[in-house]
Structure 1
Amino acid sequence: MPNKNMTLLDRLHFLKKNPTTTQKQLPCVTYKIMFCSGVGLLTGYPVFPGAELILNEYKGTAFDFNHDPMDQVMQINFCLEGRMGWTLHNGDCLYLGAGDISIHMMDHCATSSMALPLEYYKGFTIFLDLDEFKNHLPQALCSIGYNPIELKSKFCDAGQITVLPATTKMDTLFYLWDTVPSAYQLSYLQLKLQELLLFLNIYDLSKSKGKDPYPAAIISTIKKMHKKLTSDLKEHPTIELLSKDFLINTSTLKKAFKSIYGQPIAQYMKDYRMHHAANLLCQTTMTVGEISEMMGYESQSKFATAFKKIMQIPPVEYRTRYKMENTDLPKT
């Protein structure tokens, strides 16, 4: 039996199994966790009895989690920035992008893993102990006869994991968070949690096109494809060629790639090339012409046009503005 004085965040074992530093600054507690392939910063706010809201910030590639199965605790994730791939207990994987919401019970993620395709993720997580929260409902929810237990049957029936795609109705839910003074943060989160729970209560699942999980085999294929695409940026393979090389039909390829990496392949690779080129401009002595050739452009002028479109300024200006200190860079 868990200690009733422990917060839900305290009951997550991975906080103890990984090197962790803790900083308490009421009303919140911040955990900095070192994983093998990255770092996580978790700031927990006990917004109501039975309800905790966590601001998660992860940088890295992959993270493993283990905790006790908690069949009466619901986990709701709201992605703010980046992308997160959540590997389910059956091996399937769902991906969250900005504005997406996932909902599941915590007996189905006792052993799980998270992958970050863009190597960063920021979002809020709500831990909701349904029994305790039901007995301590905020007045606004109590006055309308709100029953949090109904959320379980609606979104998590028979072990179901629900992912709701981003909607304009909720894309500004935490819009003011970065500007809220610390003295007001708890009150702000109390209001926002109630707003989110009301939204879920009236949400019509029958009209929603939820995100379906992709089998682990398809996820693995897309990741191998991504490795091939990013290992030699000179090459510009077509969708048809990739489909043939990786034995996957073009429709599934395009949908799965966008689901994992957040953009169509062509746009993703254009952004990837320009951000990689930006790093080379800042951290190496390569000329703009050499970088242009490495990115697969036939002419330096076409590269410069593409670079400016993504990075907002030309390559030479970017190098001048952001180059590493004490680096002897050539004139270009």
Structure 2
Amino acid sequence: MHIFSQYERAFQGYHFEASSVNDEEMLLTVENESGRGTMCCYEALPGALLVYHDFKMGSCYQKVEPVRGFLQINHCRSGCFEFELAGGARSFIGEGDLAVNNPEILTVVNSRFPLRRYEGIMIMLELESASEWLKQNASWTDLDLYGVKEKLKKYGDVFLMRANTSIGHIFDEFYQVDERIRRPYSILKIAELLLYLSLVSKEEQRHLPRFSPQVVEGTKQVYAYLSQNPLSRLTLAELSARFRVAQTSLKSCFKAIYGQTPCAFVRAERIQIGARLLVEDPEMTIQEVALQAGYENPSKFARAFHAKTNETPFVYRNRRMVGD
């Protein structure tokens, strides 16, 4: 049986290059002017398609038609997924986040990868087949997939849970499973995930913040500016005024896309500059490195460096130099 025979409806209208890896696994490739992405797919159990995403591109959006009888679960391991809703509002799913959506309800009109990379897992459940298999082979779980779908459906078009320890525990093992036991282990992990979702409450849901196109584009301009000018002394208020984005919106949108606030991003960039100088120019004093990294006070640089690397600049330099 073709591995996608049960899922063709969910992928209708989506164009990709498909190649078989083996009898149980397929590799789907998406390529356009923005880059290339791959989806490594295999059926963990009848009605449960497990897809490993690895995209290095700006967008892979293709319009698909609404389809009944499925539940789609997505976990972001790294990168960021941006989707645009009818009306122009945009939302983001970031590192560690879990999103469950109902393919019967499609409100997305475009999508992007603002960091030009995205790695994660999608589980596409064809409810009729998966329910029947679980009933016959894992009745002890007492899982009601239709009940899970209806429960999450009540909470909105996309059910989102921000990164937490429980989600991390479940999905870390998906990514690290030994190939020799992948199928039976994946069955157990999917059952664990579904049991977890059957217990979550509305209070545990995190509504996706939605941003206007103007806020998103302004925030991306701030990111580009800070990336090119990590030693800039502009305050958040000054960035807000310069790029015409309200401070609160800028801070919130920046964190949604890039996983940290503008201030934290600048600190990380400066520490990277300092770390590079410590190794590349061993003749520079710590004070000189601090100045080059944007710190007028070497003590502040040392504290910030230790907070980021868990080492003092002196220890970091010596360890790297000895290692070389």
TM-score past 0.5 threshold? yes
User: Which ranges of structure 2 fall in alignment gaps of 5 or more residues?
Assistant: none
Q: Show the 5 A alignment for 1:133-172.
A: 133-139=130-136, 142-143=139-140, 145-157=142-154, 160-172=157-169
Match of 1:69, SS state, is coil
Aligned in 2, Cα 1:224/1:240: closer, same or farther, shift over 3 Å?
same
Q: Are the equivalent residues in 1 in contact too, given 2:174–2:189 (CA < 8 A)?
A: no
User: Which ranges of structure 1 fall in alignment gaps of 5 or more residues?
Assistant: 324-332
Q: Show the 5 A alignment for 1:83-102.
A: 83-102=80-99
Aligned in 2, Cα 1:150/1:322: closer, same or farther, shift over 3 Å?
farther
Match of 1:174, SS state, is helix
Aligned in 2, Cα 1:273/1:58: closer, same or farther, shift over 3 Å?
farther
Offset of 1:125 from its aligned partner? 0.4
Match of 1:258 in 2: 255
**Partners of 1:75 and 1:237 in 2: how far apart?**
43
Match of 2:61, SS state, is strand
**Partners of 2:66 and 2:236 in 1: how far apart?**
42
Pairing partner for 2:220 from 215, 223, 237 = 223
Q: Show the 5 A alignment for 1:174-213.
A: 174-213=171-210
**Partners of 1:104 and 1:276 in 2: how far apart?**
41
**Partners of 1:124 and 1:293 in 2: how far apart?**
43
Offset of 1:202 from its aligned partner? 1.1
Give the letter for the 1:92 counterpart: A
Aligned in 2, Cα 1:74/1:275: closer, same or farther, shift over 3 Å?
farther
Deviates more, 1:154-163 or 1:241-250: 154-163
Match of 1:106, SS state, is coil
Offset of 1:74 from its aligned partner? 2.1
Offset of 1:102 from its aligned partner? 0.8
Alignment TM-score, normalising by the size of structure 2: 0.78
Does 2:114 align with 1:116? Answer: yes
Match of 1:53, SS state, is strand
Does 2:231 align with 1:234? Answer: yes
Aligned in 2, Cα 1:23/1:90: closer, same or farther, shift over 3 Å?
farther
Pairing partner for 2:244 from 247, 253, 258 = 247
Offset of 1:261 from its aligned partner? 1.0
Q: Are the equivalent residues in 1 in contact too, given 2:7–2:126 (CA < 8 A)?
A: no
1:75-123 deviation line (CA, Å, top 9, x unaligned): 2101222332233345333222232111112251675322233x43221
1:261-298 deviation line (CA, Å, top 9, x unaligned): 1112111122234447778999x99x979998775455
Structural RMSD (CA): 3.9
Match of 1:171, SS state, is helix
Offset of 1:162 from its aligned partner? 1.9
Pairing partner for 1:57 from 27, 43, 54 = 54
Offset of 1:140 from its aligned partner? 6.4
**Partners of 2:196 and 2:93 in 1: how far apart?**
19
Q: Show the 5 A alignment for 1:65-84.
A: 65-84=62-81
Higher helix share: 2
Aligned length: 317
Give the letter for the 1:87 counterpart: E
**Partners of 1:114 and 1:275 in 2: how far apart?**
27
**Partners of 1:279 and 1:21 in 2: how far apart?**
42
